[in-house]
Amino acid sequence: MFNRKGILREREGSPTLPTLGGLKYILHFVPADESWDGPLAAELSQRWPFVAERHRLWYRSKHGVIAPGSLDLQQVQSDVMLANLAALSEGTIDEEALAAGMALLGPVVREDSSSVHLRKDALWEALEPHIVREFIDQGISAVTYIAP
Q: Pick the range with the lowest mean pLDDT from 33-37, 54-58, 93-97.
A: 33-37
Name 69's Cβ contacts closer than 8 Å, sequence gap at least 6: 85, 86, 87, 96, 97, 98, 99, 100, 101, 104
pLDDT of residue 32: 86
Say if residues 11 and 143 touch (Cβ distance below 8 Å): yes
φ/ψ of residue 86, rounded to 5 = -75, 85
Rounded CA-CA distance 47/38 in Å is 15
Q: What is the sign of the dihedral through the CA atoms of 35, 114, 2 and 136?
A: negative
130-to-21, 39, 97, 101, 118 alpha-carbon distances in Å? 23, 18, 11, 10, 13
Give 79-132 pLDDT, tens digit per residue: 999 999 999 988 889 999 999 999 999 999 999 999 999 999 988 998 999 999
> Rounded distance, CA 73 to CA 83, Å?
5
Separation between Cα atoms, residue 133 and residue 138, nearest integer Å: 7
The confidence band for 1, taking pLDDT boundaries of 50, 70 and 90, is: very low
Average pLDDT of the residues of the chain: 91
Determine the pLDDT at residue 3.
55
Looking at the predicted structure, is the pLDDT value of residue 34 above 90? no
Q: Assign domain 8-146 one CATH number from 3.40.220.10, 3.40.50.150, 3.40.50.700, 3.40.190.10.
A: 3.40.220.10
Q: Residue 102 — φ and ψ, nearest 5°?
A: -65, -35
